A and B are shown apart, each in its own frame.
Chain A
Amino acid sequence: EVQLVESGGGLAQPGRSLTLSCSASGFTFEDYAMFWVRQAPGKGLEWVSAISWNGGTKGYADSVQGRFIVSRDNSKNSLYLQMNSLRPEDTALYYCAKDGGGVGATGLHYWGQGTLVSVSS
């Protein structure tokens, strides 16, 4: 059974940093592209970042480009999102999701339950 478990969320002050983690199990992690998607309270889904199966290709939304860094450790079956220079508008539930293929063009077939990030002074 595919499982994705996010962690690392919490309360952070504007300008500070947080690192989210996503622990994966139930599939061959190194074969699949992985995504971060967020949802602000009461709002819609927003794509944040994606990383290919081997970490060689990464993409970011304009809203986080230059502030967030996505990475993965295939030996640990883990995905990460380092979030720097946090802003109040980064407040959201952050989902980790698994693509159906290695490069990220076949849809997010599995999702975690999310980890909540709140940015406030």
Chain B
Amino acid sequence: QSALTQPRSVSGSPGQSVTISCTGSSSNVGGYNAVFWYQQHPGKAPKLMVFEVSKRPSGVPDRFSGSKSGNTASLTISGLLTEDEADYYCSSQAGAYTWVFGGGTKLTVL
């Protein structure tokens, strides 16, 4: 159960777009549609932002979009707001009833 690889940090200015990558293998990201993205603000519980690669839970703005190509998933946030500054984690199913998280990416909105 190797962790998925994410950049440690990304940054952008308000109004801009950023993309966070999540690289795994055919045993996890590449092999399942069960790929998720979570947002976590300091001291708070995580919040689901994208599920099943590209679906958004109700209440999540359409500025957040997910995609996958091969063994790499991506989260794109467009029209950055200061409130988007947070840690972002990808997650994927990684076998028969096992899951794995990425190491997390700190998004700074300059």
Our verdict on whether A and B bind, yes or no, reads: yes
Query: How many interface contacts (CB-CB < 8 Å) are there between A and B?
Result: 69
Cα A46 to Cα B57 with chains together (Å)? 22
Residue B52 is within 8 A (CB to CB) of chain A in the complex: yes
Q: Encode contact with A along B57-74: 1 for CB under 8 Å, 0 otherwise.
A: 100000000000000000
Q: Is the CB of A105 within 8 A of B34?
A: yes
Interface residues of B, dominant DSSP? strand
Q: Is the CB of A57 within 8 A of B51?
A: no
Known contacts A61-B1, A106-B51, A107-B51: A47-B45 contact under CB 8 Å: no
Cα A50 to Cα B93 with chains together (Å)? 11
How many A residues are at the interface, by size bracket? 20 to 34
Q: Is the CB of B36 within 8 A of A50?
A: no
Cα A41 to Cα B91 with chains together (Å)? 19
Our pick among A45, A50, A52, A58 for the contact of B89 (Cβ within 8 Å) is A45
Residue B104 is within 8 A (CB to CB) of chain A in the complex: yes
How far is the CB of B66 from the nearest CB of chain A, in Å?
11
Q: Is the CB of A50 within 8 A of B45?
A: no
Residue A26 is within 8 A (CB to CB) of chain B in the complex: no
> Which residue of chain A is the closest to B32 with respect to CB atoms?
A105
> Which residue of chain B is the closest to A57 with respect to CB atoms?
B97
Residue B110 is within 8 A (CB to CB) of chain A in the complex: no
Residue A120 is within 8 A (CB to CB) of chain B in the complex: no
Known contacts A100-B51, A107-B52, A109-B48: A44-B99 contact under CB 8 Å: no
Most chain A Cβ neighbours within 10 Å, of B99, B102, B103: B99
Q: Is the CB of A106 within 8 A of B99?
A: no
Residues of A whose CB lies within 8 Å of any CB of B are: 35, 37, 44-47, 50, 52, 57-62, 95, 100, 104-109, 111-114
Residues of B whose CB lies within 8 Å of any CB of A are: 1, 3, 32, 34, 36, 38, 40, 45-48, 50-52, 57, 87, 89, 91, 93, 96-104
